[in-house]
Chain A
């Protein structure tokens, strides 16, 4: 079955610290992978996407993610977290087309 797994439901980091959010996928071919962020009152916003090519992708707000086929992972990283990054982050998958499969989400809390 096609799926994405986010093992961490909640993560707390201090402002200025680095961040890594984990995502694992299950799919027989190369997937289309995304990270979306959802903030209260802001709706869902795309941070970055991976289709093919370079395995390290850069996104908005200083985020990046690395696709590792051998580990079936697509972890999201940020070198220095800002208080405004507190939100819920979703790893998202599609095998093609507009039907997105969302992970369960990771709630990020930033301590000042």
Chain B
């Protein structure tokens, strides 16, 4: 069974640009969560998508957005990049079923904003 795929693995952008990151979950998983990891703030929840709908959202500005496609692949977009957006962005694939199940994390996309 293939794992969680995130592309690209590394990105360098300049302030003011926008960026799109992609995540393909494990086959059969319809829920995808996104997290930001920085040295200062640690790991923080961005949002969760399930069946193409945002189901939960963290405390991030509106510059951070996401979407999910009918094949469960998800993208997140950051507009008007700031230096502080430099981070590792992790995607998690969430199994179906009631209650809570283990989340499977991808390798992440390392974004550097210059």
Contact = CB atoms under 8 A, between A and B. Distances in A.
Contact of A101 (B45, B48, B92, B100): B45
B49 to A, nearest CB: 10
Contact of A44 (B44, B45, B56, B105): B105
B83 interface: no
B84 interface: no
A90 interface: yes
A88 B45 CA distance: 18
Nearest to B50: A98
B45 A100 contact: yes
Query: How many residues of A sit at the interface, in one of the four size bands?
Result: 20 to 34
Nearest to B58: A99
Contacts of A97: 48, 55-56, 100
A104 B44 CA distance: 10
A98 B33 contact: yes
A103 B56 CA distance: 20
Contact of A51 (B31, B45, B48, B100): B100
Contacts of B100: 32, 51, 94, 96-98
Q: Identify which of B44, B45, B56, B90 gathers the most chain A CB atoms within 10 Å of its CB.
A: B45
B43 interface: yes
Contacts of B94: 98
A56 interface: no
A99 B102 CA distance: 12
A101 B102 CA distance: 14
Contact of B56 (A49, A99, A104, A105): A99
Interface in A48-82: 49, 51
A100 B33 contact: yes
B56 to A, nearest CB: 5
Nearest 5 Cβ contacts at the A-B interface: A102-B43, A44-B105, A98-B94, A99-B56, A43-B107
Interface of B: 31, 33, 35, 42-45, 48, 55-56, 58, 90, 92, 94, 99-100, 102-103, 105-108
9 contacts: A43-B107, A51-B100, A96-B99, A98-B31, A98-B48, A98-B100, A98-B103, A102-B35, A102-B43
